[in-house]
Structure 1
Amino acid sequence: MTSPEGDFSDSSEESNKRGTKENHFNYKYKTPGNKIDEAKVGLIKEHIKRFPKYSSYYSRQKAPNKKYLAGNLNLKKMYQLYKEFCEEKETEPARKTFYRYVFNTCFNLSFHSPYTDTRATCDKLQNTIDHRLLDEKHGALVEKELHLRKAQIAQKQVVDARNLVAKDARHVAVCFVLQEMLPTPVLTCSQAYYSQQLWTYNLCVHDLGSGKAFMFMWHEDQASRGCQEIMSCLLKFINSLPPTITHLTAFSDNAGGQNKNQHRVKFWLYIVNNTHIQIFDRKFLLCGHSFNDCDRNFGIIERSRKIPHGYLCNRQGVKTF
């Protein structure tokens, strides 16, 4: 058929198949143009498996199969390393969104978060106040006000203890916190992320009266970071106090595995019965509001970690210069 604007006749074999069942089947099951082949998926999995993984001491009961990557990693950094990995393989990398998709759907992994006071209770109550019904909002307002008052009372006790020890030479008040795990040594080259690094633990005991901080450090090959290790550090600190000290007040967070258990109660009874400490006060800061002087000391350490150092390893340990 001819028209004034041109010839629209369908004379080819392909045009004769339009609308047929065979052509419909081929069109329906045609491979999408944006589909990523299995080779790229396998390459992403291979790259993610290269990173060392760790089990969490605290979440092993709730999520026994969950593994954690180092806290100095994130998906952005992993994708940059993945592109370098693809350059070595001489292949084109997949998009960042697909790398994230494979990471979230094919692996049960998370990142070790830096130690932060998240204030989960405050966030939960504030979310109820912003988005729930009027009756629930009223209850959340009352509960949040009570929660904040408890936090203020706990922080005021720290200030009061600091004032008391300034007037009484026989009284010492401290706060103690275990810092987040420190990778040793601190390296920035890409190959360091694929290697199993040595983790160093650091317990800070801060004297509220003198303002001095005492750091007890050990690495994972020497001991773990449980209740017994914390008690050993505290015992060494208490034995270093002058014999004239008879009253000790200790503040810490609410970590159940390290600070609130029957072993810790027995430890403090041992201190009162076998050392020069005659009076002991144990106080816990409210969860989500436990920021104290130890965290300020850790901030100094974190800032100094960003400064490059040289490392010299010998039989006595690792020294920086």
Structure 2
Amino acid sequence: MTLPINHTLPGASRLVLGCMALGGGWNTTPLTQQDEQQAFALIEAALDCGINLFDHADIYTFGKAEAVFGRYLQAFPAQRQHLLLQSKCGIKLGNAHQPGHYDLSKIAILAAVEQSLERLNTDYLDLLLLHRPDPLMEPDEIAAAFEQLQQQGKVRHFGVSNMGWPQLQLLQRSLTVPLVVNQLEMSLYRHHWLEESLLTGMPEGAGCHFGYGTVEYCQREQIQLQSWGSLAQGRYFSARADETAAEQATRQLVAKLAAEYQSTPEAIVLAWLLRHPARIQPVLGTSQPARLAAAVRAEQLDLSRLHWYQLYIAARGGALP
């Protein structure tokens, strides 16, 4: 299946490896040999599974996720031509001196890219995403940053994360390059993006705040929807003491369908996303090669319409209106 992203990155894989778990944890402890071995094994497992797009952010494990990936590219420089790198910027983590906030100013974007390139041990990013909407963002300033980065050959394509369609439209009016990706939280568990279309004009839809029409806008404009949290934080793979009745019913249905399709629970949960006509590109945040191998089996599945709706109804905990 051709994805919207394949118009700009023809070789991009159907699935993406999220690198948030690399680097040994959210702390300032230096990288260890064990961190390096874990990262190298996961990167190789992804490539072996056919995944060639790797998702980073400058803040992941305080920069160590990018740094340990950079060690991989330093050890195997020829691999750079076989993989695609995207990173995100714009979040400033809080500390004792300042609260956590967002910064999409030109100077902040340029500085973040320089630091990411240095950590990743590469000359360019295939994709740069703006990590969160910044209420103080100036679209013309962002456009100037993007133009400079592209002219310098440091970033090839641009996108956003966690933005609704009005923000996308506002930004695009100032840009000379297209926004090619919007990364949103989308999963069988976090299905609010479906609810808003389903409940349009209904009283039940009053509590939906995701951004009416964002999915449809991205479909219309050929903007690749990437889903973070795609595996629903693993809540449908094993029982938890605090699981709700809906979660339990969904978990049991996922197991039943995995047996029926002779596949894995991870693949069923992902196949539910892949079945949507928006051609969603899931980002897999697992740090376990075995779970990665179980998840990529989703690419061989084609859920029936009935099974897709059964999963959706189970996850939402009630019948459709």
Tell me if both proteins adopt one fold, taking TM over 0.5 as the criterion. no
Q: Give the structure with the higher percent strand.
A: 1
Q: Whose Rg is larger? A: 1
When normalised by structure 2's length, the TM-score is 0.24
